[in-house]
Amino acid sequence: METSSKLIAVLFMSALAFSGCKEKAGPLSCAADTVRYSEDISAFVNNQTKSNCESVKKSIEKLFKSCTSLATADRDAYEEFQNDFNCDDI
């Protein structure tokens, strides 16, 4: 994935992260994981290392667990992004 398309994907996923967290199943946990995801994305954009890439992928998994009210379309978008976000290429 090119740097510009990674940046676009990162921005898209950040918007989804902030819009996807609702009241159900721990809104504080969901909010904290959303902030962590944003921090991990920022760290990766600024320093594209394998470690930072893996942190982004782990953040997405935590969002799945804490933001249980993510819409199916949002969850599908996260899963697609996570699958396309290959840390082995870095």
**pLDDT for 47 beyond 90:** yes
Average of per-residue pLDDT across 31-57: 93
pLDDT at 39 over 90: yes
Helix, strand, coil share (%) of the chain residues, nearest 5: 80, 0, 20
Q: What is the dihedral of CA 2, 4, 76, 18, to 10 degrees?
A: 150
> Does residue 18 surpass a pLDDT of 90?
no
Separation of alpha carbons 57 and 28, rounded Å: 20
Which residues span the domain enclosing 48?
3-89
Virtual torsion, Cα 21, 24, 25, 30, nearest 10 deg: 10
Q: Residues 48-74: pLDDT tens digits? A: 999 999 999 999 888 888 887 777 777
Q: pTM of this prediction?
A: 0.66
DSSP 33-67: HHHHHHHHHHHHHHS--HHHHHHHHHHHHHHHHH-
Domain tally for the chain?
1
